[in-house]
Chains A and B, each alone.
Chain A
């Protein structure tokens, strides 16, 4: 399986200055797909996920245009070729 992650501007410094990262590997869920991203870009993980393994409250993850909060959270299924956006919510600094 392969996935494309879209990295937001503030995190690109921690992702090799890339805005788009392709990863591959087996994944039953968005959590599995994210694990592959963490392997490629370990520094991004702690900015997106808390110590409790939850997505930070002001971060949204969209899989093929759907917020994962609406489709089962990190356990939501993910398809081969999915496009996954990590985006800061409208709240902020």
Chain B
């Protein structure tokens, strides 16, 4: 009776070399594919209809074609599920796979981030959740454990939830240093481990907390998104709850680079897969009005590491477009030129196959979009 009223589900038929877009919405997940021209998109889904899907990711390591999703049912809670055939069949674990151990006094609210580990550790996965915590799997997602070093951090009791909840939303394993990793929590700021997760220290030097009496505290910042270069890991960018920053020392200190943007408030941020000087953001008016400034939907890009930001609006609505783009609703692919994609809370998915030079609507009527990830299917493992 209850499960009979579900929408029909379409599936994509991907090929090697295709670009995938994994789109999480408040009402389910969608999987899109296009060939390298990225002009015409095939849409699969909705998967997990009625569930909020804040986290998706693709794991193509070790010849896998695995898509992960963290659907959250208002009724039945959140679990991690995966598919090895692009959505036709999903795992449905008997026991919740990401769950707080007894004694923590916590219950999982939402899965915010799923992040594959380094290429050199193909069976490692990370998962960031609300209430803010990091979970780790060393067996390709079969089992998960709470990262207790972070959970037991003495500052955790002072962390405050942002508008979306007290969420761990960014996970950055250092590309070169296997024991180093950064995470970001709203609103606690960034924390870094140098010993594989045993201990963590706050790492927010120079990042402003506009909403606190002490504007530059050790921790407590509302960091919205952080990106790190794989080619030059010392180069990072950060979109803050007011503030746009660059680091050239692996996140140990941050410099304000909000030059020429209409607002330094925003959520989403992506970096070019190879060039650490190129970053894309979507500024929003303010924390009180989290919509595109002046009703003009504009992506801003820097090509010189934040010295200057340029608007990219060709093909985007420029009148009455009070759109909101959330922290995980922007993605970039690995092609040259890179494709950039973002989704709005009004359910529009935009894409550019040329790094933002021009945009077009990929899908215009999805449920509210909360996450977008891009991936390329390898050619040899079709």
Contact = CB atoms under 8 A, between A and B. Distances in A.
B51 interface: yes
Given A42-B94, A46-B77, A93-B27, 11 more contacts: A8-B2, A10-B75, A47-B76, A47-B96, A50-B108, A51-B100, A51-B104, A51-B107, A59-B76, A92-B75, A93-B51
A89 B94 CA distance: 22
Nearest to B100: A51
A58 B92 contact: no
Interface in B49-100: 49-51, 73-77, 79, 92-96, 99-100
A79 interface: no
Interface string A26-60: 00000000000000001101111011101010110
B106 interface: yes
Given A46-B77, A89-B75, A93-B51, A9 B99 contact: no
Nearest to A56: B77
A13 interface: yes
A92 B74 contact: yes
Nearest to A46: B96
Interface of A: 8-14, 42-43, 45-48, 50-52, 54, 56, 58-59, 88-89, 91-93
A81 B3 CA distance: 27
Contacts of B107: 50-52, 54
Nearest to A41: B94
Given A50-B107, A52-B105, A43 B94 contact: yes
B75 A58 contact: yes
Contacts of A88: 2, 75-76
27 contacts: A9-B1, A9-B3, A9-B4, A10-B3, A11-B76, A42-B95, A43-B93, A45-B95, A46-B77, A46-B95, A46-B96, A46-B99, A50-B107, A51-B99, A51-B101, A51-B102, A51-B104, A51-B106, A51-B107, A52-B105, A56-B75, A56-B76, A88-B76, A89-B75, A91-B75, A93-B49, A93-B74
Tell which of B74, B95, B102, B108 has the most Cβ of chain A within 10 Å.
B74
A47 B81 CA distance: 14
A32 B247 CA distance: 56
Q: Chain B interface mostly helix, strand, loop or mixed? A: loop
Contacts of B49: 93
A46 B27 CA distance: 21
Contacts of B3: 9-10, 12
A66 B243 CA distance: 53
3 closest residue pairs by CB, A with B: A93-B50, A9-B2, A43-B94
B130 to A, nearest CB: 13
Contacts of A13: 92
Interface string B4-43: 1000000000000000000000010000000000000000
A43 B93 CA distance: 8
A56 B102 CA distance: 17
A47 B94 CA distance: 9
A73 B172 CA distance: 43
A51 B108 contact: yes
Contacts of A11: 76
Contacts of A91: 74-75
B102 to A, nearest CB: 7
A12 B4 CA distance: 12
B75 A59 contact: yes
Contacts of A89: 75
A89 B27 CA distance: 17
Contacts of B100: 51
Contacts of B2: 8-10, 88
Contacts of B108: 50-51
Contacts of B75: 10, 47, 56, 58-59, 88-89, 91-92
A43 B96 CA distance: 8
A34 to B, nearest CB: 15
